[in-house]
């Protein structure tokens, strides 16, 4: 079975600072990996996904993530935080041919002026 | 508009009421899901439908009853709920093959 671990339930950054949200996965077969963002009282919106093509994946709103098999990681980064990035971020994993996603517990990103 | 529409957005119901949540997608996806999101708890997968057949049921109490009449619609029928069932209920859909979900905006359910 697959699983994901998100390190840190809350991450605080200043506006303009680097954003780094950590995700490690466990999977016995090559995984598909996803990052989702959730704003208050909204559903989850797909930021980006890795599906075994390029290991550096670019998503919406300036976010990107790098798949590192040796570290079983898929950390989310953004060079410069904006106030509008404040939200909860979820990492998720699925395996090829089986569509159910397994989500991490989420990381709340707080951005201060 | 995300492509997955959930109604109602907010619902307050008593413990003896019967109500239904509705989810609709016109993305051509053939799998649909119900998730429960409670405060300070991880997302809980409740039900999975693939090609209108229920393929997963994660030990959800019988007071929650899903229905998938066709590939575009998914319902969650609720009856005799408990206050701990208050949560955000999220619907999602996906194509086959693990290519990610599209989520609706959710129904905020409060049981009084």
What are the strands, taking DSSP E only, across chain A?
3-7, 10-14, 19-26, 31-38, 44-50, 56-58, 64-68, 73-78, 87-95, 98-103, 107-112
Q: Give pLDDT < 50 ranges for chain B.
A: 1
Res. A98 pLDDT band, cuts 50 70 90: low
Q: What pLDDT score does A65 carry?
A: 97
Find the chain B residues whose C-beta atoms sit closer than 8 A to any C-beta of A: 2, 4, 6, 31, 33, 42-43, 45, 48, 50, 56, 88, 90, 92, 94-106, 108
Q: What is the mean pLDDT of chain A?
A: 92
Q: Provide the token pair at A33.
A: 């990996």
Q: What b/e string do you get for B76-102 counting C-beta neighbours within 10 Å, with b at 16 or more?
A: bebeebeeebbbbbbbbbbeeebebbb
pLDDT tens across B18-42, in order? 999 999 999 999 889 999 999 878 8
Work out the minimum CA distance from A59 to partner chain B, whole angstroms: 14
- By Cβ distance, the residue of A42, A90, A99 closest to B98 is A99
Q: What angle do CA A109, A110, B2 make, to 5 degrees?
A: 55
């Amino acid at each position: 079975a697959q699983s994901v671990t998100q390190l840190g339930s809350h991450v605080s950054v200043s506006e303009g600072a680097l954003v780094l949200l950590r995700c490690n996965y466990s999977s016995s077969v090559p995984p598909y990996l996803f990052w989702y963002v959730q704003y208050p009282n909204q559903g989850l919106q797909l930021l980006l996904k890795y599906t075994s093509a390029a290991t550096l994946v670019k998503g919406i709103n300036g976010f990107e993530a790098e798949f590192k098999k040796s570290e079983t990681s898929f950390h989310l980064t953004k060079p410069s935080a904006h106030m509008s990035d404040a939200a909860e971020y979820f990492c998720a994993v699925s395996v090829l041919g089986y569509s159910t996603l397994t989500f991490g517990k989420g990381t709340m990103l707080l951005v201060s002026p | 508009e995300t492509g997955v529409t959930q109604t109602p957005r907010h619902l307050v119901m008593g413990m003896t009421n019967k109500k239904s949540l509705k989810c609709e997608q016109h993305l051509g996806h053939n799998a649909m899901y119900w998730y429960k999101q409670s405060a300070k708890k991880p997302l809980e997968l409740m039900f999975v439908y693939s090609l209108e057949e229920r393929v997963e049921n994660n030990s959800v109490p019988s007071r929650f009853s899903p229905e998938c009449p066709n590939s575009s619609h998914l319902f969650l029928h609720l009856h005799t709920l408990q206050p701990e069932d208050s949560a955000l209920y999220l619907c999602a859909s996906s194509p086959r093959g693990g290519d990610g979900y599209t989520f609706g905006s959710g129904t905020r359910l409060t049981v009084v």
